[in-house]
Amino acid sequence: MTALLTIIVLILVAIAIWQMTKMFELSQIKASNSQIASDTDNKYNGYLMFAFLVFLYGLTIFCFVKYTKVLLPAAASEHGEEWDLLMLVSMVIIFIVQTLTQFLLHYFAFLYRGEKGKKALFYADNDRLEFIWTIIPVIVLAGLILWGLYAWTNIMDFNDEDDPLTIELYAQQFNWTARYAGNDNVLGESNVRMIDIDNANILGMDTSDPNGMDDIIVKELHLPVGRKVNFKIRSQDVLHSAYMPHFRAQMNCVPGMVTQFSFTPTITTAEMRKDPDMIEKVRGINKLRAERAAKGEDNSDPWEFDYVLLCNKICGKSHYNMQMKIIVETEEEYNKWIAEQQTFGKSMASVQ
């Protein structure tokens, strides 16, 4: 509300200044009131155009220097590398084209600014030139689109090849729960109508389905490195989105249906913590945290890197904090961890 009022006040002040300038102009009877731009006007505008070009390039360089460090680290999944490459190539092409065209636009406006006696050359058309600037974008865009479609088909291919691990991600306001399919690697049936809080059946699992008895419900996601994971994603209440930025993975969680995503993690948490890029990032964040600690503010404990599952749909007031820790570890570490977890069957037996 305050922001809106501030904007309205600023607009009104701008209108007032504009009107006052007009009144001032009208009162200057002797001054020239010609509507035709003079050499001085043209020169002024030409230099402004050139100054804007310098500003634009300055801003670009500033953003590169200041914000490159907030980009994500190297992709930690198999398909992530292809995704990153596609993104990089698209961005480099856009960057080159935009740098050239902005230069031509602004520099030519400056160079060929109007001057008395100077006449513009009338140049009707040039078939060869038009052919070149049509065919190059056609080839480049067709290449990018075909490559993009190919990558998309690869990434979204959901199948049971290569013995994938089946895990359910369950979203609710405002937390995540994960369910491993257990020894049979088949998730038991579930439905929000079967949720029974009194009996600790928080995911609405069908207690008569034998496939569900060995399922394991946890609040921390552990993934063995190099093993494909098939995620089946559900939501209890509203639209959420399962977002795992380090694995370049995101999929909507839609109430009433099961959505899917699949990837193979390639870098363990321990390895990622030793990545020079990551060490630099952690150092930067901990510097900020130390500053907070000095001021006695919250969230100031030293931070250690962990992969994370976030919600990427604004699903309510605590959306910002809807997250789950992901640990990518070796096969042995994973097997040890999963063996220590309780199955759904056992936890039900202990409640009753």
Nearer residue to Cu ion within complex by CB, 170 or 307: 170
Nearer residue to Cu ion within complex by CB, 172 or 268: 172
Is 322 one of the binding residues for Cu ion (CB under 5 A)?
yes
Is 315 one of the binding residues for Cu ion (CB under 5 A)?
yes
Q: Provide the residue type at 296 as one letter.
A: G
Return the SS3 of 330. Answer: coil
Instruction: Find all residues with CB under 8 Å of 163, minimum gap 6, and list them.
Output: 227, 228
- The piece of 77-85, 117-125, 284-292, 303-311 that touches Cu ion (CB under 5 A) is 303-311
> Which of 131, 110, 3 is closest to 50 using CA atoms?
110
> Which residue pairs, CB below 8 angstroms and at least 24 apart, start in 184-192?
184/211, 184/214, 186/211, 187/211, 187/212, 187/215, 187/232, 188/212, 188/213, 188/215, 188/344, 190/234, 192/236, 192/255
User: Least distance to Cu ion from the beta carbon of 317, Å?
Assistant: 11
> Which of 268, 146, 169, 292 is closest to 219 using CA atoms?
169
User: Least distance to Cu ion from the beta carbon of 309, Å?
Assistant: 11
User: Least distance to Cu ion from the beta carbon of 156, Å?
Assistant: 22
Q: Are 232 and 167 in contact (CB under 8 A)?
A: yes
Is 217 one of the binding residues for Cu ion (CB under 5 A)?
no
Instruction: Find all residues with CB under 8 Å of 3, minimum gap 6, and list them.
Output: none
Binding mask 262-301 toward Cu ion (x if CB under 5 A, else -) reads ----------------------------------------
Binding mask 229-248 toward Cu ion (x if CB under 5 A, else -) reads -----------x--------
- The piece of 46-54, 137-145, 293-301, 312-320 that touches Cu ion (CB under 5 A) is 312-320
- The piece of 10-18, 32-40, 179-187, 305-313 that touches Cu ion (CB under 5 A) is 305-313
Q: Which two tokens stand for residue 196?
A: 């029974």
- Beta-carbon neighbour count of residue 190 at 10 Å? 21
Using the rule CB under 5 A, which residue among 169, 311, 326, 328 binds Cu ion?
311
- The piece of 81-89, 123-131, 137-145, 306-314 that touches Cu ion (CB under 5 A) is 306-314
- Number of residues engaging Cu ion in binding (CB under 5 A): 4
User: Least distance to Cu ion from the beta carbon of 341, Å?
Assistant: 25
- Measure the CA–CA gap between 50 and 92, rounded to whole angstroms: 24
Q: Which two tokens stand for residue 291?
A: 């500053």
Residues that bind Cu ion (CB under 5 A): 240, 311, 315, 322
